[in-house]
Structure 1
Amino acid sequence: MSNTVRTLRATAASMLLEIGAAIGTFVGLSWFGANAALAVVRGVGTSPADAGVPEEAVWFGILVAASLGTIWLERSGYRTIRANPAGGGEFARLSVCYLPVTFLPAGYALSSVVGGSGLVVNLYLIACVLVGGWLSFYGGLERLDVTSAYFVRTFLLVFCSAVFLAVAGVLLPVSDVLRVFVRTPVLGGATLALFALAGQILVLFAGFGIAVRDPTPVLDCR
């Protein structure tokens, strides 16, 4: 009887993992499709309504495409593209949540330099999806010798920092804060980009625990 219970539990756990991976893949593909559609619309400068296509039909088409893509991957697609079939859940967490927030300072720096348009935001989110797919489906985490826990840490660091800056911005104008640090007039987007990049480096250093190696060679005295 105990063996039967263990078998049922193992089967149920395996089914839940497969269902979770499929849902994660669907969420990631839907997120990619939505940002790709918005990038095309903003890049071209016309909306689907201008072409006589209802907006609801566009979103419905994105969900249908994500569903068909998920079904194909679950049946034979993973073997065809040689991807990890268990990476769907990790794919959704990294692409939709962890990566966009972790590299938010770098994305903000880029938007400060090139102009904070919606197209830049969508391209940034698409890049996060592509990187998340490599990390979760093609062993990127193992190759970098990291786990998703590192991205959870950086996610929390950036999120808490953003909340702190938002509160500080309400209590004290951002320009005054920058003048305290640089002691010069604010230089616009370039100064904000430099501060954002510095914050990104600090977040990665603290989140991933980057250690500075001692350049002095170790002598073998055997």
Structure 2
Amino acid sequence: MAESRRPSLHSAAGNLSRTLGTLVAVCWLVLASSVALARTTDGSVVAESLPLELFWAVAFVLAAVGAMWLVGGGYDRIGADPTGVWSFVWLAIFLLPLAFVPLRVAVGFVDPTGSLLDTVFVVAVTVVAGWLAFYGGLERLSLTLDDVVRVVVFVVALGSISLAAIFLFDVDWVARPPIAVVVALTIQAAACWLGLSRELP
């Protein structure tokens, strides 16, 4: 009797996990879309007409409706793998933004205001994370989440060296373009190469 309950409990736990992950993922999509819309349009008009509390309430309702649709068959309709939902959450919200901070810094010197670039960066990260997690991108590239985590670790390690040179040893020329662009791109390339081809000790 106990053995017969285990598969059903495991299935229920898996469904609950996917539902929760889907809610988090759709909340992120709603938030990212709202930020992108505010950055590319006159966000002040929306901010004045929609109180912050009401915005969050509307965002949560939209996310809940979207999550219910996905769990109720939406994944199949869009050809996505529902088991990749937590991979998407980790990739879109944490891992990919951190892994490509040097690239964002380098490109930021082109547009010091950064508003449009931030929007493009968030959208690009979200799209790439969706492909990697839901459409077999990780498998096609022979990657795992651990590989991306290693890239993040090397970004932090190599970035800390450059920051230490600037703030501890007053090597301020490293922070001025075009040297800063070269340093950031070098850190990005080195972190990707080390993270994807080397194991952490």
Structure-1 separation of matches of 2:115 and 2:140: 33
TM-score by length of structure 2 reads 0.86
Q: Which residue of 1 aligns with 2:109?
A: 112
Match of 1:189 in 2: 177
Unaligned runs of 5+ in 1: 179-185, 211-222
TM-superposed CA distance for 1:116, in Å, is 4.3
In structure 1, how many angstroms separate the alpha carbons of the residues matched to 2:113 and 2:9? 47
Q: Secondary structure at the match of 2:82?
A: coil
Amino acid at match of 1:173: D
Equivalence map 1:10-49=2 (5 Å): 10-47=7-44, 48-49=46-47
- The one-letter amino acid paired with 1:41 is A
CA distance in 2 between counterparts of 1:11 and 1:42 reads 46
Is the Cα–Cα contact under 8 Å of residues 152 and 191 in structure 2 kept in the other structure?
Answer: no
Task: Encode CA deviations 1:193-219: one digit per residue, 9 max, x unaligned.
Answer: 221111111011011118xxxxxxxxx
Residue of structure 1 equivalent to 2:66: 69
CA 1:45–1:14: 2 relative to 1, 3 Å: same
Match of 1:209 in 2: 197
Displacement of 1:146 in angstroms is 1.2
1:49 partner letter = A
Change in Cα spacing, 1:169 to 1:145, as seen in structure 2 (3 Å) is same
CA offset at residue 57 of structure 1? 1.6
Shift of 1:167: 4.8
Aligned residue-pair number? 197
- Matched to 2:103, the amino acid is A
Higher Cα Rg: structure 1 or 2?
Answer: 1
Matched, 1:154 2:142: no
Q: CA deviation at 1:80?
A: 0.6
* Superposition deviation, residue 166 in structure 1: 4.4
- Contact between 2:22 and 2:71, CA under 8 Å: does it hold in 1? no
Cα distance between partner residues in 2 of 1:20 and 1:72: 16
Give, as a single letter, the amino acid of the residue that structure 1 aligns with 2:43.
Answer: T
**Pair 155,8 (structure 1): closer, same or farther in 2 beyond 3 Å:** farther
Q: Name the counterpart of 1:99.
A: 96
In the alignment, what sits opposite 1:142? 139
Identity within the alignment, %:
29
- Paired residues of 1:38 and 1:119 also in contact (CA < 8 A): no
Following the alignment from structure 1 to structure 2, what is the Cα–Cα distance between the partners of residues 115 and 198? 20
Return the TM-score normalized by structure 1: 0.79
80-89 or 119-128, larger mean C-alpha shift: 119-128
Q: 1:100 and 1:76, CA in 2 relative to 1: closer, same or farther beyond 3 A?
A: same
- Give ranges in structure 2 of 5+ residues lacking alignment: none
Equivalents in 2 of 1:142, 1:20: separation in Å?
A: 22
Match of 1:83 in 2: 80
